Amino acid sequence: MKKCFAVCKQNFCKLLFVYKIIVYKRCILFQTLYKMKKLRAQLALTQTDMARLMGSSKTKASLYEKGLRSLNAKELNMLSTIELLMSNPAEIQATDKISLNDQKALVAVLKKLAYDQKRAAQQHEIISEKLSRMEETYASNRKLWRLLNELKTNLKGAAANPYAAVLEIRCLEKLKSCGLHQQILLRHQLSMLASEIASAQQLVEEYWEFGVPVEG
């Protein structure tokens, strides 16, 4: 009986030892997988991207984070390298390069905005002058039309001037190019250009305050 009890105790100790090893390995596995998932989140990578970065296949990607597969020596080494580089800014300066490229892209966009603003301002000036001439022509045309109507009313028969009819036709033709409908279209264009200029100016001034130079 004592011998049987001793054997059972010995077997139990062995099973307990094996169980502790299994639990320890599982703890290490889940710590490693948690670390991998955390790094993947920091890098904004998919499971497939992370697996491939570590030198594995995409079919194993989801198995890692579910704890259904362990990392081999090569994958563990790559994971440690990634963790080291992520924790030591002196080893990798990718963020600085990205920031520099982002600033260059921003400067390019702001330069284009400044150019578009300048072009819109020139168009605004041209259309404003065109509208001003149109309004003057329209006002003169209305005066002439009123005068011609007064002449037709007051001068009849032999006193009437037949050239007044020619001038009436000219007045009607001018209305096609300087009438109120044409003026409304130009005012609408001016309004759109003014909004474009103001929007571009606001963006340029906003990012100028952030220290991004914009050449004129």
DSSP-assigned states of every residue in 2-42: HHHHHHHHHHHHHHHHHHHHHHHHHHHHHHHHHHHHHHHHH
Same domain, 8 and 84: yes
Say how far apart CA 40 and CA 47 lie, in whole Å: 8
Q: What is the average per-residue pLDDT within 35-49?
A: 78
Same domain, 56 and 141: no
67 in any annotated domain: yes
How many domains does the chain divide into? 2
Same domain, 106 and 201: yes
Residue 88 DSSP code = -
Q: Which helix (H) or strand (E) holds 82?
A: helix 73-87
* Domain stops at, among 47, 63, 90: 90
Q: Which helix (H) or strand (E) holds 195?
A: helix 180-208
- Record the tokens describing residue 92, joined without a space: 């990798």
pLDDT for res 91 = 47
Say how far apart CA 61 and CA 38 lie, in whole Å: 14
Residue 213 has pLDDT above 60, yes or no: no
Say how far apart CA 104 and CA 133 lie, in whole Å: 44
Is residue 47 within 8 Å of 40, Cβ to Cβ? yes
Same domain, 178 and 204: yes
C-alpha dihedral sign at 137, 141, 142, 144: positive
Residue 13 has pLDDT above 80, yes or no: no
161 in any annotated domain: yes
Say how far apart CA 172 and CA 184 lie, in whole Å: 18
The SS3 assignment for 81 reads: helix
Same domain, 112 and 202: yes
Judged on CB neighbours under 10 Å (0-12, 13-18, 19+), 92 is: middle
Same domain, 123 and 204: yes
Judged on CB neighbours under 10 Å (0-12, 13-18, 19+), 191 is: exposed
Residue 112 DSSP code = H
Region of poorest pLDDT, from 92-101, 129-138, 186-195: 92-101
pLDDT in tens, 103-148: 777 778 888 888 888 999 999 999 999 999 999 999 998 888 888 8
- Looking at per-residue confidence, does 73 or 210 come out higher? 73
pLDDT for res 43 = 77
pLDDT for res 124 = 94
* Domain stops at, among 90, 120, 151: 90
Same domain, 137 and 86: no
Could you tell me where the DSSP H helices lie in 88-179?
94-154, 163-178
- Looking at per-residue confidence, does 183 or 13 come out higher? 183
Note if the pTM is more than 0.75. Answer: no
Within 8 A by CB and 6+ apart from 123, the residues are: 193
Which CATH number covers residue 61? 1.10.260.40
- Looking at per-residue confidence, does 7 or 49 come out higher? 49
Same domain, 185 and 112: yes
Residue 67 has pLDDT above 80, yes or no: no
pLDDT for res 216 = 46
**Which of the listed ranges 50-54, 58-62, 100-104 does the model predict with the highest average pLDDT?**
50-54
* Domain stops at, among 28, 57, 90: 90
Domain that holds residue 81: 2-90
pLDDT for res 145 = 87
Residue 44 DSSP code = T
Residue 176 has pLDDT above 90, yes or no: no
Average pLDDT, the chain: 76
Same domain, 45 and 117: no
pLDDT for res 193 = 93
pLDDT for res 189 = 94
Same domain, 111 and 63: no
Say how far apart CA 77 and CA 90 lie, in whole Å: 20
